[in-house]
Chain A
Amino acid sequence: MFTLFLEQLLNGLQSGVMLFLMASGLTLVFGVMGLINLAHGSLYMVGAFACAAVAAWTGSFWLGLMASLMAAAIAGALVEILIIRRLYNRDHLDQVLATFALILIFSEGTRWIFGSFPLFLSVPEFLTGTVVMPGDFQYPLFRLAIIIAGFAVAAGLFLLIGKTRLGIRIRAGEADRGMIAALGVDIDRLYTIVFALGAALAGLAGAFVGTTQSVQVGMGEPVLILAFVVIVIGGIGSIKGALIGSLLVGFTDTMGRFLLPHAFATFLDPASATAIGSALASMLIYIVMALVLFLRPSGLFGTEA
């Protein structure tokens, strides 16, 4: 039971790290530009499809991974320049409508190019198999690699935001966009870069997740909802909040699915314990979100609105 518990903790960590790649882009875009981007999930789908298509064509997962970053970043930059740029001064309802339209365009466009049937994408050869973890249980090597890669990206992102000139501009843009424009920063270019960066992170998450799941049209929307839960919990605009929120959601979801049916089974018959436990487990992250909002209305690391 204890090793199972450890394994589930790792699973929670892995799902949290993947969520962070999604949520960090979303929260950056919201924090810096004040834009609600529903099409973020579509960029995740673009990444997964680019990776699957290039990996199938060249036989190399790594080229696929590169392609996912490039395709999502390019798609993000184009979308920002052509459409999103016109929305910054509109109210949130217009942004939601326009980016929802983008979801439909991306989905049908992808269906038009790749068809309705899921694509094949597999783990590279040397990352297949399992490793024996401390505590004596086997864990898939690829999931371990995802955890490490996710933390590496998170560290890179913190360095980028905290230590570089671009990071200073991004933070300044969050604080007062009128002022940095007045100081001569090319705000249009900054916005395009931030949007492409967020898109690339989403594309990377899509490529990673595509290797363990189904690469299909519409794969982005369920993740998008979770990513919104994460940034609401973490505080909108905060990268640190996105990290903590992602891990919290990842752990809550995994451990809830694992522990709740067992907990109910101590005083109910197995069939109803499973039914009630799994029903409650699927609500758990929303209950956590409601609790966080009740105690801290602007999220864990949000600035007071």
Chain B
Amino acid sequence: MKGIKTTIAAVAALLVAGAAQADPVKVGMITTLSGGGASLGIDARDGFMLAVKQANNPDLEVVIEDDQRKPDVAVQLADKMIQQEKVDVLTGIIWSNLAMAVVPSAVAQEKFYLSVNAAPSQLAGKGCNANYFSVSYQNDNLHEAAGGYASSAGYENAFILAPNYPAGKDSLAGFKRFFFGDIAGEVYTKLGQTDYAAEIAEIRASGADSVFFFLPGGMGIAFMKQYAQSGVDIPLIGPAFSMDQGILGAVGDAALGVKNTSNWSKDIDNATNKAFVESFVAEYDRLPSLYASYGFDTANLLLSAMGKANVNDKEAFRDALRAADFNSVRGKFVFGPNQHPIQDIYVREVVKEGDVLTNKIVGVALKDHADAYASECSM
């Protein structure tokens, strides 16, 4: 009896597949699910899988592995996924140093890579590739918006701080590109650093009128707590990563009022976004972060391409991805010539809704913003 059922199911699956005339697509997701950076990867995964679940497309199979935020582990996983699992598409990497270790070789092996977060400058300019799409942003974008916001808010002397890794370098470069005041001090901290007493002392002594900080995950929590305890009251500005939903609960009221820049916020007014936030809360019992929104958009982009083209016809599938014909939680969604999004970037403020800390849009920092490297990309 069981055997007959399985056979019928298999035949039905074949018929469905035949009707759509599509080969199944296998996705390899390499993301950070353990250790200090786990909350980011878990959010990206949960957002991605929510869209997969909602689409309920039997042709889509996802394999998920944990990179532990270690470049060598990520490289091994990518090799395994390409050679053994024979995936068609890779995605999931959160950290730029891991992306630099995995992406160039994966796209050279004719695999598609869709980025849910990390988008280092090296892959946007001369190192751009037809098989590489960044759904999130280019690393500099949110920092550029923070620089633009700081200038327009009238700040003239900023102290800037980021971890010493590719995205940290992109961050400070991006901020300085759009900030026209002076730099009171510039500090690179160790990736994963937990004590910022020395840096906060320098901020206090620097005479700055604003502080720009990019410290994702646990680093941001540690910095915000210690900053609040230190009694320094220079206003803070950051990209959304420093004030992401997963961080706010652990920082507490110290985060209230901090301005941060983001291309996504849970109060962007469109039907897709409303449905996304509602279904995410219903599924996982917490508010989505921007990483979750990137994961959700990435899966929907992939599903839209699967509806239009066969993954084994690389050229057609690439065109289908490029068309980005899906409903994004950010409203409109357009790829630029280097396959990074051209998008609005908002200024948000940390507020309290009931007992929950979250972000609210208070303005637009940069409109239809493209990245600085697109012109260097020849594709």
A contact residues vs B (CB 8 Å cutoff): 1, 3-4, 7-8, 11, 14-15, 107-108, 111, 116-120, 122-123, 128-130, 137-138, 140, 142-143, 209, 211-219, 221-222, 254, 257-258, 261, 270-271, 274-275, 278-279, 282
Contacts and interface: CB of A to CB of B under 8 A. Distances in A.
A107 B34 contact: yes
Contact of B230 (A116, A130, A257): A130
Interface in B32-91: 33-36, 38-39, 42
Which among B195, B205, B246, B252 has the highest number of chain A CB atoms within 10 Å? B195
B354 interface: no
A4 B195 contact: no
Which among A119, A129, A271 has the highest number of chain B CB atoms within 10 Å? A271
B255 to A, nearest CB: 11
B190 A212 contact: no
18 contacts: A107-B35, A116-B39, A120-B252, A138-B204, A138-B231, A140-B231, A212-B195, A212-B222, A213-B218, A213-B222, A217-B34, A219-B194, A257-B189, A257-B199, A258-B202, A274-B188, A278-B164, A278-B188
Contact of B205 (A4, A119, A130, A254): A4
Contact of A212 (B219, B225, B231): B225
If over half of A's interface residues share one DSSP class (helix, strand or loop), that class is named, otherwise mixed; here it is: helix
A87 to B, nearest CB: 25
A210 to B, nearest CB: 10
Contacts of B252: 120, 122
A117 B229 contact: no
B36 A275 contact: no
Contacts, number: 130
In the A-B complex, list the 7 residue pairs whose CB atoms are closest, starting with the nearest. Answer: A214-B218, A214-B221, A11-B197, A118-B250, A130-B231, A213-B222, A218-B35
Given A118-B250, A120-B252, A211-B225, A4 B231 contact: no
B194 A275 contact: no
Contacts of A211: 225
Nearest to B230: A140
Contacts of B231: 129-130, 138, 140
A140 B222 CA distance: 15
A140 to B, nearest CB: 5
Contacts of A271: 186
B250 A119 contact: yes
A84 B124 CA distance: 51
Nearest to A278: B188
Which among B187, B197, B204 has the highest number of chain A CB atoms within 10 Å? B197
Contacts of B33: 116
B320 interface: no
A132 to B, nearest CB: 10
B93 interface: no
